[in-house]
Amino acid sequence: MGDDLVILGGAVRTNDPAIPRAGALAIAGDRIAWVGSDDDARDRARAATEVIDAGGGTVLPGFVDAHNHVRLGANPGAVSLFGATSLGEIHARIADHLVAHPDVTWIEGEGWNYGAIPGGAPTATMLEGVTGGRPAFLFSYDVHTVWLNREAMRAFGIDGGTDRLPWGTVERDRVTGEPTGYVHDFAVLGISEDGQRALEAHVPGYGVDTRYARMVESLDMAARFGITTIVEPQNGLDDLELFARARDGGDLRSRLVAAMLCLPGTTDERLDALGEARARFDGDRLRVQAIKLYIDDVIEPHTAAMLAPYANAPDTAGDTFWDPEAYAAFVVELERRGWQVFTHATGDRGIRVALDAVARAREVLGPAGARHQVVHVECVHPDDVGRFGALGVVACMQPRHCAPDIVEGWRANVGAARERYAWPFRSIEAAGGVLAFSSDWNVAEMDPMFWLYTAITRAAPDGTGAWNQDETVDLAAALRASTWGSAYSIGAEGERGTLTPGTAADVAVLSRDLGSTDDPREILDTHVTATLVAGQVIHRA
């Protein structure tokens, strides 16, 4: 047998220390068959061999997006509030949306930033007279909080006696006790099965077919961006049918690993059902593998769990969703059942509780444990930096989240004293921890060029505002975290994440040799010219 496909004329980065750089590679079937020089690659090509000329661009293992809410996607019917810097601009965008869509019955919005809201906390009164009497349902950029107007609160039946909804926790005015229109914990509750069903009953954009269309659009984006494996980090049993539909219909071209959400109070019966789903979805293209837990929320609305009070809200340090002892016991039980655990943790106390739980699992179950992840890892106490490597916990991080055009409010909340170990990429890696980079789409851009650029510079896309540069990493480390590290994070490092003969032929070809540029901003002008999964071209520019 000969080679089916040859990629030549490239700057090949293999992540294989035996052959770290090359000019070409060959694929036979669904495997990397050979890595070597351009001249030798031309000799290998037969008449039937497909040839891709990389044109001098970087050739690397396909990106493994270790945390991508591909199922949520972006809502084409929503008003985009991304980048709006003031309340007035938010109002203007809603007004423009109504002019363009005069027949809408609800105003759905995505992407408002806490820094654009006076005081950082939106209220229903801020939307008075803006929506023409229509209910407004507006997501923050991180999808952790929802902003409602009075009409939406009436539609959901929110009144002075409402503390909790199936999809979030109702914020109350500290003086009057009345609901403000600000609902937090959405990312925890709203993406659960109960939360989704409650939203489908009210909000027009939550039907199954609409959600499927949004997911397919995101899957297509992943192929265009060179993402060959997607880790969908938060799902219910109902959502697995969407993935199966995509797999069976040919819309799932990248590989997909799904994590299943568990909340406090999860029963043994629920765990048994999740175990059955894991046995059912255990394929090469679609696999149920992990359990997603939340130990805290997010720093911007002061709901992440901190070891000391927030710098600008000294009356609160946030809190954990789980009692730490109950959480640790649950992690032990999940590992005993063979599950990998992904824990959302952003605050330094939340991260410590997550690491303490893994330490407990090692005490109870011994050293050969599951490859658990702490996800986001935003504000770390220096005493905990080295524990990732010591405990074998992967730091699943999203570099774009630390860009200065996003974190102004974040930095004000934590205070300058805690900034040194904000998103500590370099420190965790230097202490022996494994970094797994990802997008957190649709919270941030899916394009891996944003991950690479921000990890290298800690700057805004226009090159300004770089901060905490002691925690930058170099290009090689950023590429490794985006490929091999993320493959390692799901136990696939022997199969994906390198261009080693015998491994899966999952490949991304870029339009530029990233190692030849002196200006990191050129990374953002780079695109993927070809994406291959299992030796098949799933995208060609």
CA–CA separation, 288 vs 240, rounded Å?
9
Q: Which CATH code fits 208-489?
A: 3.20.20.140
Supply the pLDDT for residue 196.
Answer: 76
**DSSP annotation string for 87-148:** HHHHHHHHHHHHHH-TT-SSEEEEEE-GGGSGGG---GGGGTTTSTT--EEEEETTSSEEEE
Number of Cβ atoms within 10 Å of the Cβ of 514: 24
Bridge-based pairing of strands 340-345 and 373-376 is parallel
Supply the pLDDT for residue 185.
Answer: 81
Q: Which of 381, 358, 515, 497 is nearest to 435 (CA)?
A: 497
CA atoms within 13 A on the CB side of 191: 25
Tell me which amino acid residue 285 is: R
Supply the pLDDT for residue 205.
Answer: 67
Number of Cβ atoms within 10 Å of the Cβ of 119: 8
CA separation (Å) from 175 to 180, 233, 312, 315, 530?
A: 11, 38, 19, 15, 58
* 120 within 8 A of 177, measured Cβ to Cβ: no
Structure tokens at 116: 């654009």
Q: Which CATH code fits 79-190?
A: 3.10.310.70
Q: Where are the beta strands (DSSP E) in 302-418?
A: 340-345, 373-376, 394-397
Would you kindly state where each structural domain of the chain is located, as residue ranges?
5-61+505-540, 79-190, 208-489
Supply the pLDDT for residue 287.
Answer: 98
Model pTM score: 0.90
Tell me which amino acid residue 530 is: A
Supply the pLDDT for residue 273.
Answer: 97
Hey, which residues does 168 pair with through a beta bridge? 165
* 155 within 8 A of 200, measured Cβ to Cβ: no
Please give the backbone phi and psi of residue 442, each rounded to the nearest 5 degrees, phi first.
Answer: -100, 20
Structure tokens at 87: 């309340």
Number of Cβ atoms within 10 Å of the Cβ of 463: 13
Supply the pLDDT for residue 41.
Answer: 87
Scanning 392-501, the segments in alpha helix (DSSP H) are 408-414, 425-430, 448-457, 475-482, 484-489
Supply the pLDDT for residue 75.
Answer: 78
Tell me which amino acid residue 353 is: V
CA–CA separation, 285 vs 481, rounded Å?
22
- Do the two domains 5-61+505-540 and 79-190 of this chain adopt the same fold? no
CA–CA separation, 167 vs 146, rounded Å?
10
Residue bearing tokens 């291959």: 532
Q: What are the residue ranges in the chain where pLDDT is below 70? A: 1, 205
Query: Per the CATH hierarchy, to which homologous superfamily does domain 5-61+505-540 belong?
Result: Urease, subunit C, domain 1 (2.30.40.10)
Return the biggest CA–CA distance within the chain: 79
